[in-house]
Amino acid sequence: MGSETTDNNDLVDLPNPDSTVVEDRINSILERVDKLNKIGIALSSEKDTSRLLESILVGAKELTNADAGTMYIRTENDTLRFEIIRTDSLNIAMGGTTGITINFPELPLYKDGVPNKQMIAAYVALEERSINIPDAYEAKGFDFSGTKAFDSNTGYRSKSFLTVPLKNHENEIIGVLQLINAIDANSGEIRSFSQEDQQLAESLSSQAAIAMTNQKLITDLKALFESFIQAIAGAIDDKSPYTAGHCDRVPVLADMLSKAAKRSNIGELKDFTPDEEDIYEIRIAAWMHDCGKVVTPEYVVDKSTKLETIYDRIETVSTRFEVLKRDAEIAFLQKKIALLEAGKSEDIPALEDELKRRIGEINEDRKFIEESNMGGEFMSKERQERVVNIANYRWTDPSGEEKPFLSENEVYNLNIAKGTLTPEEREIINHHVVATKKMLSTIPFPKNLKNVPEMAGSHHETMIGTGYPDGLTREQMSIPARIMAIADVFEALTAADRPYKKPKSLSESLKILGFMKKDQHVDPDLFQVFIDEKVYLEYAEKHLRPDQIDEVIHEKIPGYEPQ
């Protein structure tokens, strides 16, 4: 089915070659071998799959001086997919880095279970050997109807074909390289592919298959690693319905701010020029910044109210208020009976007014305690004193024992000044950063991810050493670590899934972030970029509720300095 090796140009076929011809031919061969080696080295260092495949085809065309070529990749469905197409004389370039999609249908290796040996590329993949055809129009056994139709439409003449399989280290066919129309360097005419061309193409294909396999292994390992860390992040978010999505959104913000910072020339950022791998490292660190929360108890993470433990104790306190009202009503009825028996019914209205006043007072105190239980941004001293006063009420429990209305622990929790966590619980939450750094420091990250522990473990540090866990200053933190801090804060401010607060609008969030900048809690250069480049708006349009996106006036943001 077609010639495997057709060649009349090899050195061995030259009749009585003189020394000059031999020397020129040897030099030509050495140049091509040198080019093959350089291409092989380039392939081994290429990290982008599209550029790798493109380099393989372009390199093969250069080695064989082919006018056209196609790179096919074998799919899991036993088809050959067009990946790269090049025809120099027609100025056709598709696939690869061109951005032009190849819409040609995939070539099936089997039709109704029967091997598709009519298509030359499929035949080469099935038979696992190269096919070298001097002239497609004269070849027998292959279906070149599509080629002839292409020629008829374009005026092209597809003649010589060299089709080579790409086999990986497990002896599996992973693709097919097809070269079309070898061009004679002297005459410019189409010639057959020589034996030397075939050997070079096969050698390149062997190196290419190794490079493609390595690339796939790297890609698969990268995908596995990313899936693993995203699974951890998802488990952390799933652990608490109140932080769901946090680990998803912080990487988005960190990525946006990293790219904006790269474009900036403000302060230290003029030397911040991360490449794709650096951005990837930042993204991974953002995914893992809260991995230490796997050791944080759920009762702390999920504490949506001040009195919540295994359950929200406000229900117990509410029951006590009902007991107070019951006792007040019982006391009223007892006094009313006594007045009636004493013939003093005229005193009953005053007694009723007293009961009404007392029930209203109890209801107001109950409403106040329920509001205090919800937490918030700030609880005044006056409100805290009112909690203490209510705690001094006396009530009788089911066993008949008289007790203070609120326990010391309940008063302690209800008087939390900000949020819903006590200082001890806050310390437990803060420990997640220590756990994060400890966990990440045990992972043997590759060189391109070696900074992940520092980036992920420093997102609660400040610029003046007042943060945690290590009290680092700005000079001791990398720019990506500072990026992480802003991403973490802004996501938390705008998040709609926090138990202790309503999601803040853009203007409110930027106001708080501005005060943090003034207090030297976040990096001033990154804060400037965050505002100037409208990173906040880019994020908001994709991840905030419409009612949160209000008007933002930069000049009104605390700490902002227009450039």
pLDDT value, residue 243: 62
The partner residues of 308 in beta bridges, in order of sequence, read 312
Nearest partner of 439 among 218, 236, 244, judged by Cα: 236
Q: What is the mean pLDDT of the chain?
A: 88
Taking only the tens place, the pLDDT of each residue in 371-400 is: 999 887 789 999 999 999 999 999 888 888
pLDDT at position 30 over 70: no
Q: To the nearest whole percent, how much of the chain has pLDDT over 90?
A: 60
Calculate mean pLDDT across residues 430-448.
88
Answer left, alpha or beta for residue 425, where phi above 0 means left and psi between -120 and 50 means alpha.
alpha
* pLDDT for position 24: 61
pLDDT digits (tens, 9 = 90+) for 189-227: 999 999 989 988 888 888 777 778 877 887 888 888 888
Average pLDDT over residues 169-183: 91
**What is the pLDDT at residue 25?**
60
Residue pLDDT, tens place only, 324-340:
999 999 999 999 999 89
Instruction: Evaluate if pTM is beyond 0.75.
Output: no
Of 224, 291, 285, 233, nearest in space to 258 by CA? 285
pLDDT of 35 above 90: no
Which is more confidently placed, 427 or 367?
Answer: 367
Residue 232: HSE in the Cβ half-sphere, 13 Å Cα cutoff:
20
Peptide bond into 558 cis (omega under 30): no
Mean pLDDT of 513-519: 95
**Mean pLDDT across the stretch 438-460?**
91
Given CA atoms 59, 65, 67, 72 in this order, what sign does their dihedral have? negative
| Distance from C-alpha of 293 to C-alpha of 429, rounded to nearest angstrom | 8
Mean pLDDT value of segment 417-424: 88
- Report the candidate in 120, 214, 228, 213 with the shortest Cα–Cα distance to residue 167: 213
Q: Which CATH class for the 240-289+450-556 domain?
A: mainly alpha
Q: Please report the pLDDT score of residue 2 as a whole number.
A: 42
pLDDT at 138: 93
Domain ranges of the chain: 11-217, 240-289+450-556, 314-420
Mean pLDDT computed over 70-98: 94
What is the structure's pLDDT at 26? 65
Does 70 have pLDDT greater than 90? yes
Give 307-328 pLDDT, tens digit per residue.
988 788 999 999 999 999 999 9
Give the DSSP letter of residue 312. Answer: B
Residue 499 above 70 pLDDT? no
Q: Under a CB-based contact definition with an 8 Å cutoff, are residues 99 and 54 in contact?
A: no
pLDDT digits over 123-139, tens only?
999 999 999 999 999 99
Which range is most confident: 125-134, 230-239, 396-405? 125-134
Query: Who wins on pLDDT, 530 or 25?
Result: 530
Of 38-42, 69-73, 157-161, 412-416, which range is least confident? 38-42
Determine the Cα–Cα distance for residues 59 and 40; give it in Å rounded to an integer: 9
* Least confident span in 158-167, 219-228, 501-510, 546-555: 219-228
Model confidence band, residue 8 (pLDDT cutoffs 50, 70, 90) = very low
Residue 14 gets which letter from DSSP?
S
Q: pLDDT tens digits for 37-60?
A: 666 666 666 667 778 788 888 888
Q: Cα(423)–Cα(405) distance, rounded to whole angstroms?
A: 24
pLDDT at 494: 93
Query: Which of 491, 425, 429, 497 is closest to 241 using CA atoms?
Result: 497
DSSP class of 397:
-
CATH architecture type of domain 11-217: 2-Layer Sandwich (3.30)
Sign of CA dihedral 187, 192, 198, 199: negative
* 422 pLDDT higher than 80: yes
- pLDDT of residue 9 exceeding 80, the answer is no
User: Residue 524 above 80 pLDDT?
Assistant: yes
Evaluate if residue 19 carries a pLDDT over 80: no
